[in-house]
Amino acid sequence: MYRLISKLVIYRNLGEDCLLYRFADICKRFERNAYEKEELTAEIYGEIHRLLDIATSYGFDKNLWHNYLAFLLAMTENPFTLVCEKTGANEGTVNEFAKGDFAVFKKLFDYDFKPLEEKLGINCFTIVLNYKAVVKSEQIFNKSVSEKVQELSSSIEGAADEEEMYRLVTDFYQRYGVGKFGLNKAFRIGKNENGSILSPITTTGNMVLDDLVGYEDQKQRLIENTEAFVEGRAANNVLLFGDAGTGKSTSIKAVLNQYYSRGLRMIEVYKHEFKELSRVVAEIKNRNYRFIIFMDDLSFEEFEIEYKYLKAVIEGGLEIKPENVLIYATSNRRHLIREMWSDRSDMSQDELHRSDTMQEKLSLAARFGVTIGFYKPQPKEFYHIVTTLAKRYPEITLSEEELRTEANKWELSHGGVSGRTAQQFITYLRGKGAEK
């Protein structure tokens, strides 16, 4: 195995601490008979433990060794993979090196661990090559990455040679992308060992806009802007404002699921992280995806100045905002920054030109080219939301009249009519139905 991976060129920089290099070192010492049996066995079990950790994190199944090798191919970002992400396979001398690397990976796929097992009296490799994973909730593992990696693994298993493997892998890069941006939907700011400022969010839900009842005009405006964005046409930053519980945040999350397959990705940023926005933009501006920076429940008190970082990123800094980045925000406030009556007059005891302060505050909201209002539904609309949601769940057997009566009782004691209240009421009914 060590002699095989020493021939890698394109995929050489996998990190000395990666499992592949660790297993290769074990195999090298085994082949040279330079080991103590108990010591090498313990080392193997340690690496198998690391392999199982990766398999659990990503929900891998069946042949974990194949899944791991496919995972390396899917996640490795280098000049070759990044070009394939944008354009697929291309003519060029670099392809000869790539095909050489794929020939190595194909041999790694077919690597025979039996001599190692027989000599040491172990069977751990046989187990991980025929693994049956415990069925688990999607909340526990990264389903988005899991499905794609296992698809690639299965395809490579059936490849006849490096030529076919080259086609399969480059097609994979063009279809899904490469690395964390290719295989994940959403991200948040977090520390990473590789120097990246962004960490994947592994569970994002599956809601799409059709699941949100009502607000058809608002959804249509959001769709039109997002469609233009993912198609590479001019599009605006979007502010969704209005009453609490009306579906503002849900709409933006649904947009991600609806357009993920067309290259849309989302980055969640909180206002205390705004000073990191320039670093975020620097990391994503040259990637072949469309990024929405999502700011939920955005608002500022008078003493908070983080909005100045946001204004500079949206519009006003020396470096223009990349064309593959937009900002979508939600807020209960139309103008985002808290205003006082004293802002409306130049007469103030502590500031000469108070109206200038007001203009500065209003200028943030003005940087959102599309503003969409979400307001509390009327009682008739509320009952329509309740009955529509109830029809999706067969365990809810109340008649429409009973639903209206119970929904009325619920909203009176749970904050009034809103989409959120309706959803909470339906969740309550489903729980009651499950008791029976």
Bigger pLDDT: 199 or 196? 199
Mean pLDDT of 205-212: 85
Cβ neighbors of 28 (< 8 A, separation 6 or more) are 1, 2
Q: Is the pLDDT of residue 287 over 80?
A: yes
* pLDDT for 303 beyond 60: no
Decide if pLDDT at 27 tops 70: yes
| Contact of 231 with 403, CB cutoff 8 Å | no
| Residue 214, helix vs strand vs coil | coil
Report the distance separating Cα 365 and Cα 371, nearest Å: 9
Query: Please, is 392 exposed, middle or buried when counting C-beta atoms within 10 Å of its C-beta (0-12, 13-18, 19+)?
Result: exposed
Q: What are phi and psi of 169, to 5 degrees?
A: -75, -40
Q: Which parts of 102-150 are beta strand (E)?
A: none
Confidence (pLDDT) at 225: 96
- Overall average pLDDT of the 56-79 stretch: 91
Task: Give the residue extent of every domain in the chain.
Answer: 2-182, 209-374, 379-435
pLDDT at residue 296 above 70?
Answer: yes
Question: SS3 of 94, please?
Answer: helix
Residue 66: the pLDDT is 95
Q: List the single range of 152-166, 284-298, 322-336, 396-410 with lowest mean pLDDT.
A: 322-336
User: Is domain 209-374 given the CATH code 3.40.50.300 in the classification?
Assistant: yes
Q: Is the pLDDT of residue 315 over 70?
A: no
Tell me the C-alpha distance between 157 and 136, whole Å: 25
Q: Is 134 exposed, middle or buried (0-12, 13-18, 19+ CB in 10 A)?
A: exposed
Query: For 217-248, what is each residue's pLDDT tens digit?
Result: 999 999 999 999 999 999 999 999 888 888 88
pTM: 0.78
pLDDT tens for 382-425 read 889 999 889 888 888 888 888 889 999 898 888 788 888 898 99
Question: Looking at the predicted structure, is the pLDDT value of residue 251 above 80?
Answer: yes
Kindly report, residue by residue over 344-357, the tens digit of the pLDDT. 555 455 554 455 55
> How far is C-alpha 368 from the chain's CA centre?
24
Backbone phi, psi, residue 414, to 5°? -135, 40
In angstroms, the CA 257 to CA 115 distance is: 47
pLDDT band at 341 (very low <50, low <70, confident <90, very high): very low
Rg over CA atoms, the chain: 27
Please say whether the beta carbons of 336 and 367 come within 8 A: no
Helical H runs in 59-93? 64-75, 79-87
State the distance between the two ends of the chain, measured CA to CA, in whole angstroms: 58
**Average pLDDT of the residues in 291-316:** 73
106 Cβ contact list (under 8 Å, min separation 6): 156, 159, 161, 162, 165
Tens digits of residue pLDDT in 123-166: 999 999 998 877 655 544 567 788 889 999 999 999 989 899 99
What value does the mean pLDDT take over residues 185-210? Answer: 82
Phi and psi torsions of 359, nearest 5°: -65, -35
Residue 78 φ then ψ, to 5°: -150, 170
Half-sphere exposure (Cβ direction) of 269: Cα atoms closer than 13 Å: 28
Q: What is the pLDDT at residue 353? A: 45
- Examine the pLDDT at 436 and tell me if it is beyond 70: no
Mean pLDDT of 243-269: 90
Q: 375 — phi, psi (to 5°)?
A: -120, 160
